[in-house]
């Protein structure tokens, strides 16, 4: 199976329970995530990360910083690759202010990753913490699991 994970609030902690990290030094993995992901890899599963990084469109972080943070947590969990979307329809930076089929709740990142691995929707699971994650999984035709259920958080 291909397990695709959302990043913020799924693999890494929100800052003060409110907002995603805006720099690498703020990014902290959620306890227990590594062990669960290592067990999946040991069982022969593939891992990837798919993350909206709309903060780039608002100018909170650069695209390079966003990619660096997604890559860091992808490497940490042993994911093979990752996908990022930095656009936002309300963004302040004109160049990134738009909708995108890659931006969740659309399915572009999940579609891309299934093509990147050559797997079917029936062989793919998406794990996330927001309604837009659930919608993206539904749009891609893959199974969705809430992060709290997948990782067994209280």
Contact footprint for Mg ion (CB under 5 A): 6, 8-9, 129
CA pair distance 98, 38, nearest whole angstrom: 36
CB of 120 or CB of 131, closer to Mg ion:
131
Residue 73 C-beta: closest distance to Mg ion, Å: 12
| Radius of gyration of the chain, Cα coordinates, nearest whole angstrom | 14
Residue 19 C-beta: closest distance to Mg ion, Å: 11
CB of 19 or CB of 120, closer to Mg ion:
19
Q: In what order do the strands lie in the sheet with 2-5?
A: 81-85, 46-52, 2-5, 124-128, 143-146
CB of 8 or CB of 106, closer to Mg ion:
8
Residue 78 C-beta: closest distance to Mg ion, Å: 20
Element (DSSP H or E) covering residue 151: helix 147-151
Q: Which residue is nearest to Mg ion (CB)?
A: 9
CA pair distance 76, 71, nearest whole angstrom: 8
Residue 20 C-beta: closest distance to Mg ion, Å: 7
CB of 49 or CB of 94, closer to Mg ion:
49
CA pair distance 150, 2, nearest whole angstrom: 14
């Amino acid at each position: 199976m291909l397990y695709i994970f959302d990043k913020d609030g799924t693999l890494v902690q929100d800052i003060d329970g409110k907002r995603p990290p805006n720099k690498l030094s703020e990014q902290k993995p959620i306890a227990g995530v590594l062990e669960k992901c290592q067990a999946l890899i040991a069982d022969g599963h593939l891992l990837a990360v798919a993350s909206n990084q709309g903060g780039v469109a608002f100018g909170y972080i650069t695209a390079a910083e966003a990619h660096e943070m997604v890559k860091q947590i992808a490497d940490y969990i042993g994911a093979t690759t990752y996908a990022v979307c930095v656009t936002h329809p309300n963004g302040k930076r004109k160049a990134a202010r738009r909708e995108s089929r890659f931006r969740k709740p659309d399915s572009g990142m999940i579609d891309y990753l299934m093509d990147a691995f050559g797997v079917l929707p029936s062989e793919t699971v998406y794990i996330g913490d927001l309604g837009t994650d659930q919608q993206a999984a539904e749009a891609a035709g893959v199974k969705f699991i809430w992060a709290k259920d997948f990782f067994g958080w209280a």
